[in-house]
């Protein structure tokens, strides 16, 4: 019987290391976030006993591990490689397909947005906990879905929300030329069980306000509450997001950040003035003069 030999491959994410094989190891792709999720994978369970293993990915020809920061891969990678090779060459089971839970079929459909450069791809499952916006491939290194979407030459920006992906295209193509291709790619990416975004994927332009709302003045807190309750659901339906950035009491100016389909949208100025600005003036009388999008 041929011995399986693994090669160590670095990835674009420093905490993730791949152990690849020239042989097919298993069918499908599997992700295990903890030992409880790994009940149908004896190998993943064994690897979770290593104190530095945070997450395990098993695919057709590789096993990838995400580590905690308590060690560097250079210190342990050879021992891990040997452990996995010994397991495989002793006939160990990677994933018991019989025990694997049945997956609900993934559906993805495209929706137009008020921004002609942006299309919204909606999934029937939850994708991420928090909104994530990426202006380029470098920003997306911790978000595999966005990172791979930037491989398409016409993808300019990517915004990922709870159950949808908004994509901003450049002017080299029309949506009717690429919609089917993008929809199929996203659907397959999700169906394969690949990671949408890692826990340390950071929002590049998130205001620090949400991390320290206790330090805000009362007007700023009121503005945030109104945006969260009345405005965000509406802009999310259009494939975008709005975030509070600051409130200038002297000029009574509210600065916000527009994301996804809202960023660069021809109708965003009208929305800000006739919608958001008027609502804030009505709900917080005498305290609001103007709403400005600082990134539009």
pLDDT at 212: 46
Please state which of the ranges 160-164, 167-171, 175-179, 209-213 shows the lowest mean pLDDT: 209-213
User: 208: pLDDT confidence band, cut at 50, 70 and 90?
Assistant: very low
The more confident residue out of 81 and 269 is: 81
pLDDT at 199: 67
Give yes or no for residue 116 having a pLDDT over 80.
yes
- From CA 75, how far away is CA 243, in angstroms rounded? 42
Give yes or no for residue 1 having a pLDDT over 70.
no
Instruction: Determine contact, residues 194/145, Cβ cutoff 8 Å.
Output: yes
On average, the pLDDT of the chain sits at: 83
Average pLDDT over residues 223-233: 83
Residue 20 token pair: 């690849």
% of the chain with per-residue pLDDT over 70:
85
**Digit-coded pLDDT (tens) for 239-260:** 777 888 888 889 988 888 887 7
Average pLDDT over residues 109-113: 87
**Nearest C-alpha neighbor of 47 from the set 19, 8, 9, 26:** 19
Residue 218 token pair: 């009362």
Please state which of the ranges 35-49, 165-179, 214-228 shows the lowest mean pLDDT: 214-228
Cα angle vertex 63, ends 62, 64, to 5°?
Answer: 115
Give yes or no for residue 236 having a pLDDT over 50.
yes
User: What are the counts of helices (DSSP H) followed by strands (DSSP E) for the chain?
Assistant: 8, 13
Give yes or no for residue 204 having a pLDDT over 90.
no
% of the chain with per-residue pLDDT over 90:
31
**Digit-coded pLDDT (tens) for 12-66:** 778 889 999 888 888 777 888 899 888 889 999 999 999 999 999 888 788 999 9
pLDDT at 274: 67
Give yes or no for residue 11 having a pLDDT over 60.
yes
**159 strand-pairing partners:** 133, 166
pLDDT at 181: 93
The more confident residue out of 205 and 179 is: 179
Residue 279 token pair: 């609502």
pLDDT at 202: 52
Q: Residue 200: which residues within 8 A CB-CB, separation 6 or more?
A: 15, 142
**Digit-coded pLDDT (tens) for 58-69:** 887 889 999 998
Give yes or no for residue 207 having a pLDDT over 50.
no
Instruction: Determine contact, residues 75/38, Cβ cutoff 8 Å.
Output: no
């Amino acid at each position: 019987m041929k011995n399986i030999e693994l090669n160590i491959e670095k990835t674009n994410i420093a905490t993730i290391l791949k152990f690849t094989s020239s042989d097919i190891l298993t069918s499908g792709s599997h992700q295990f976030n903890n030992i409880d999720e790994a009940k149908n994978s004896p190998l993943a369970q064994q690897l979770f006993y290593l104190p530095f293993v945070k997450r395990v990915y098993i695919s057709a020809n590789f096993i990838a591990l995400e580590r905690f920061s308590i060690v560097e891969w250079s210190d342990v990678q050879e021992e891990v490689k040997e452990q996995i090779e010994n397991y495989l060459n002793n006939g160990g089971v990677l994933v018991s397909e019989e025990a694997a839970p049945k997956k609900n079929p993934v559906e993805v459909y495209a929706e137009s947005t008020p921004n002609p450069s942006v299309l919204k791809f909606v999934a029937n499952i939850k994708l991420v906990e928090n909104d994530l916006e990426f202006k380029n491939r470098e920003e997306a290194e911790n978000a595999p879905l966005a990172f791979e979407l930037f491989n398409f030459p016409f993808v300019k920006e990517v915004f990922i929300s709870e159950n949808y992906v908004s994509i901003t295209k450049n002017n080299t193509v029309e949506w009717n030329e690429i919609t089917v291709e993008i929809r199929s790619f996203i659907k397959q990416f999700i169906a394969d069980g690949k990671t949408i975004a890692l826990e340390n994927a950071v929002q590049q332009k998130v205001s620090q306000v949400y991390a320290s709302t206790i330090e805000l003045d009362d007007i700023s807190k009121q503005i945030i509450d109104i945006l969260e309750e009345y405005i965000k659901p509406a802009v999310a339906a259009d494939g975008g997001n709005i975030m509070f950035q600051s409130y200038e009491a002297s000029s009574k100016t509210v600065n916000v950040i527009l994301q996804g389909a809202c960023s660069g949208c021809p109708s965003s100025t009208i929305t800000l003035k006739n919608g958001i600005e008027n609502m804030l003036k009505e709900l917080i009388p005498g305290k609001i003069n103007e709403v400005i999008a600082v990134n539009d």
